[in-house]
Structure 1
Amino acid sequence: MKNCGADLRSARAGWKPAPQNFHINFKRRGKTMIGDRQAMIENLYQYQGQYTLESRLYKTSVSSFMNGMLGEDLQESGCITAIAIFQPHDSGKAMVSSKQKGILAGLEESCLLLDNYRSQVSYHLAMKNGRLIRDGDALEADEDPILYLEGIIITILEIERTLLNILQRMSGIATEVHELQQVIKNCGSHSRLAATRKLQWGRMDKKAFIVGGGLSHRRGLYDTMMIKDTEIDFWQYLDDSQVDQNTNDLRLKWVLESVQRCWNQRQNSKGLIVEVQSQEEALVVARTLKELQNNRYYPCSIMLDNFSPQEVTSTLEQCRAEGTYDWTLFEASGNMQGERIIQFAQTGIDVISTGSPTHSTNVLDIHMKVLK
């Protein structure tokens, strides 16, 4: 494995746009997928087609969020500064561009915003979503234009901040994810990043994560079963046989019972993800999942929560030795950010779940410039 301790920022030099038209067949099952870990990963963690405006759920979510931002910004009075200075019919032109290198995201959402004002403002796109934004400078001719606006000045000023917030934040997330994924690839690792559900902007954050080349955990509680510590901890209220039993033995018992119950209801789920706290739990769950699948693959993943890189490596090696590795994916979670992500990628883990790009976002320097 290569030494990947170099500054993560160096990854930007070799950026390529993330693919935007890839769709995985979520229904693919069976033994033919065994051994093709990338297909297994995308089968369980790929949701790209669900985060476009063609999805009614996503479009409704984005519209509601943007209306909230605009309502908070404008209230009933609108932009009182613009109204004081300009006449209702005054018109002008502007360009939205970037001075910073990165991956463009949020363009589809920006168009949805602008379409609500089409009678007052027209727009022309100069770039596609997911494209690499080059460095610009103070000269207009050398900046990288994203879109052009023309229309009522008051309206342009009223939607300016919401429009820029969308592009800046979503592009910032996409850029960081792409940067991290590029470094992981340069390490010779097949590990993929997946967004958690710890989000400030909900589905829009996940969309940006995906545009950057990342994957996603379940959209919500309704589509993929995931057994977490919380579910296991509640077992203490159901199990009357816990007196004088070893705590670890009890927990393992509850984990396996939860796995069995979820397995019995798997027809309503995209897959099954099981969080474990120790190597012993991971090995037992891996054996159980292989046995339950009975030579017919069903998407499963074991989440190694708060494991060290050494513990992850040891667990994967043991699963390979026992013949359970091919029947389930393995995911690392717990304070995943920066160099720590790279350390875990070098273990050979399949998926690294992280909320770092979404809750610690470095927004991209995108601005609006008035044109003559």
Structure 2
Amino acid sequence: MHATTLELILAAIAEDVGTGDVTAHYFVPAESTARAKIVAREPGVLAGVDVAERVFLEIEPRLEVKTLLQDGSAFQPGDVLMEISGPTRGLLTGERTALNFLQRLSGVATQARRYVEAVKPHPVQIWDTRKTTPGWRLLEKAAVKAGGGTNHRMGLYDHVMVKDNHLAAHGTLEELQSAIDRVREERPGTRIQLEADTLEQVANFLTLRGVEMLLLDNMGPAKLREAVAMNAGRLWLEASGGITLETIGGIAATGVNAISVGALTHSARALDLGLDFE
């Protein structure tokens, strides 16, 4: 488990438990043991199993946690996702924090799966964005993968994305080419992508060397098809901008290689999962 994920788990536990679970301390005998299960109340795709398990074990190492489904598994209402047994106090103290992680991440995975299914049978990837919950990026992007989506850049450090605001400050083709050449020399292996808002920009960017990808921003299907024809397979083309489940099929049919959807993470609803005692 990544160190930042463990830090997030510990912060979430501290936020909820603070100086101690007073309800469990006064109303549950110290020697009490119990068995419980996490059950789906609605259909979805699972993500965050290892995080939920770690929450319980950080709170009470004597708990036994058995995962019945793995990340990426589809489930239906009534399916048991996880079984937990051991000291009742620890089980109750960990319940909400574990569910918070599991519900949120499964919501992201479920959302990603909907978009992946919506573009079939077109050979196009569904990409996530940086529109993630602060501190949750690694987890939410892992949930996107669990749902069948593909991770775009993880952050500002691992992928060049020259967007409209960058172009406003550094926008001539000569300046762009000079900057691209410097990246190639100083940061070999770093992917370089330019954002195009118009077909004229697409034509101009295709004259540059060292570019691997273009982001076609807020273009409708007709313009996207023109861009695909102009590109003729040279660069990887990503469509982006206000894409919904209702419109994504038409976008996929244009021939772009990828479609990025901020809604995979910023608009995913937490799923309804519950912990039931046996």
Give TM-score, length-normalised by structure 2.
Answer: 0.92
Structure 2 counterparts to residues 32-111 of structure 1, below 5 A: 53=1, 59-76=2-19, 78-111=20-53
Question: What is the CA distance between 1:253 and its match in structure 2?
Answer: 4.6
Maintained 8 Å contact 1:227/1:258: no
Distance in structure 2 (CA, Å) of the matches to 1:82 and 1:91? 12
Identity over the aligned pairs, expressed in percent? Answer: 26
Partner of 2:192 in structure 1? 272
Answer whether contact 2:38 2:273 (CA < 8 A) is retained. Answer: yes
Residues 344, 265 of structure 1: alpha-carbon distance in 2 compared, 3 angstrom cutoff:
farther
Q: Partner residue of 1:6?
A: none
Runs of 5+ consecutive residues of structure 2 not aligned to the other structure: none
Which residue type is aligned with residue 244 of structure 2? Answer: Q
Aligned match of 1:369: 276
- String of CA shifts for 1:54-90, please: whole Å, max 9, x gaps: xxxxx112111111211111111x2222222112222
Q: Is residue 277–residue 304 contact of structure 1 (8 Å, CA) maintained in 2?
A: yes
Deviates more, 1:78-87 or 1:113-122: 113-122
Correspondent of 1:288 among 208, 211, 222: 208
Structure 1 residue aligned with 2:230 = 318
Inter-partner Cα distance in structure 1 for 2:255 and 2:4: 36
Return the match for 2:82 from 139, 144, 147: 147
Report the CA distance between 1:349 and its aligned residue: 1.1
SS at match of 1:116: helix
Gaps of 5+ in 1: 1-52, 54-58, 137-142, 236-249, 293-298
Give the equivalent residue in structure 2 for 1:259: 180
Contact 1:176 1:212 in 2 (8 A): yes
Other-structure match for 1:296: none
Structure 1 residues 255 and 223: alpha-carbon distance in aligned structure 2, compared to 1, 3 A threshold: same
Q: Which of these residues, 304, 313, 317, is aligned with residue 216 of structure 2? A: 304
| Pair 1:193-2:193 in alignment | no
Cα separation, 2, equivalents of 1:156 and 1:316: 54
Match of 2:110 in 1: 175
CA RMSD of aligned residues (A): 1.9
8 Å Cα contact 2:118-2:248 kept in structure 1 = no
1:4-43 to 2 correspondence within 5 Å?
none
C-alpha distance in 2, partners of 1:220/1:343?
29
Following the alignment from structure 1 to structure 2, what is the Cα–Cα distance between the partners of residues 257 and 275? 17
The partner residue of 2:167 within 232, 235, 243 is 232
Partner of 1:225, secondary structure, is strand
1:282-309, CA deviations, whole angstroms, 9 ceiling, x for partnerless residues?
12212323xx4xxxxxx81111122222
Q: How many residues align?
A: 276
Task: Give the secondary structure class of the aligned counterpart of 1:146.
Answer: strand
Secondary structure of the 2:72 match is coil
Matched to 2:53, the amino acid is: C
Q: How far apart are residue 268 of structure 1 and its match?
A: 4.7
More helix by share: 1
Q: 1:94, 1:148 within 8 Å by CA — same for their partners in 2?
A: yes
SS of structure 2 residue aligned to 1:208: helix
- CA gap of 1:258–1:275, structure 2 versus 1, over 3 A, is farther
- Residue of structure 2 equivalent to 1:9: none
Distance 1:261 1:310, change over 3 A: farther
The answer as to whether partners of 2:60 and 2:90 remain within 8 angstroms in 1 is no
User: 1:251 deviation in Å?
Assistant: 4.5
More deviation in 218-227 or 65-74?
Answer: 218-227
User: Aligned partners of 2:219, 2:176: CA distance in 1, in Å?
Assistant: 18
Q: Distance in 1 between matches of 2:187 and 2:231?
A: 23
Offset, 1:122: 1.2
TM-score (norm 1): 0.70
